[in-house]
Amino acid sequence: MCTFVWMLVISTSSTLYLTLKLTEMNKALVRNMSSSDGPTSPYTTLAISRPVESLTHVELHRPEKRNAMNKAFWSEMVDCFNEIADDQDCRVVVMSGAGRMFTAGLDLMDMANDILQPKGDDVARISWNLRKTITKYQETFSVIEKCPKPVVVAVHGACIGGGVDLITACDIRLCTQDAWFQVKEVDIGLAADVGTLQRLPKVIGSRSLVNELALTARKMFADEAKSSGLVSRVFADKEAMMAGALEMAGQIACRSPVAVQGTKKNLLYSRDHSVAEGLNYMATWNMSMLQTEDVMKSAQAAMEKKSPKAVVFSKL
């Protein structure tokens, strides 16, 4: 019995030591992810980095403007995520914001002409052009959802207006204890039109709460965001959150990309379809994807009690 207890103590201590070491390593990586050099060319609003193999970090980078979303941002996000979607070296994405907050939402001063002065000779043409503008902006966040790589978003400080549209298009949402969220659009005289009203009800599940947030523009703080399901984890501060995001991203990245990307695709399909339709789509999907060598590699590793990190999967 004493030997067993001693072995258990050693095992627990080793696990704790390994966890602490991994946490310290992730925190060191977070410190090295500093974007003091500014946005990454050719982007003017985003800083892109590869802190570890298979992981892409996308940082909103207009800290002097509280990461407000200007004209450039709306097109740069599309270009960025289309590139990530085709990048075989990337298996998972972490998104965050530079400076004091995640984002203040729409940059009204920069966007006023597009929104308030659409071009056109009459009502029909003005409306047509305004619709084209709105659908273009909608694609800025839909491209995150369409990207086959899972996206983990880490929110600190405030996430206002368009920030809520952005994070609801992501796959996993984390935040700090001081974070708060606000569907701000009714306060500026419009209905949110780039994703919040469509995705937030599916994320939270409570139509009453969604209606309350959207109609009153009140703030939702971290504890309520977690209890309602908007975020899955809350961290003490940004450094701890980014270390947690990296650890989670690493857990995803070491799995089969065929399995991970197939899981994301089918989760999104099932969200928008019936159970029967989702099962049919899944059967069609896996009739080819089950033939991947990744299944045998994963099964072999499990039988040998190896970590998924020990398995080398081909790029996808």
CATH number at 272 reads 1.10.12.10
What domain range includes position 305?
257-310
- Do 219 and 289 fall within a single domain? no
Amino acid at 307: S
Among the listed residues 153, 148, 167, the one whose alpha carbon sits nearest the alpha carbon of residue 265:
148
How confident is the model over 28-75, as pLDDT tens digits? 556 555 555 899 999 999 999 999 999 999 999 999 999 999 999 999
The whole-angstrom separation of Cα 94 and Cα 73 is: 17
Please say which residue of 228, 253, 278 terminates a domain. Answer: 253
β-strand 55-60 against 46-49: which pairing, if any?
A: antiparallel
Total domain count for the chain?
Answer: 2
Let me know: does 185 contact 191? Beta carbons within 8 Å: yes
User: Which contiguous run of DSSP H or E holds residue 278?
Assistant: helix 275-289
Residues 86 and 140 reside in one and the same domain: yes
Q: How far is 271 from 202, CA to CA, in rounded Å?
A: 8
Residues in the chain: 316
Per the confidence metrics, is the pTM higher than 0.85? yes
Q: Look at residue 312 and tell me whether its pLDDT is greater than 50.
A: yes
Average pLDDT over residues 165-187: 97
Rg (Cα) of the chain, in Å, rounded? 22
Residues 148, 206, single domain; the answer is: yes
Residues 281 and 249 in one domain: no
Q: Which of the two residues, 306 and 96, has the higher pLDDT score?
A: 96
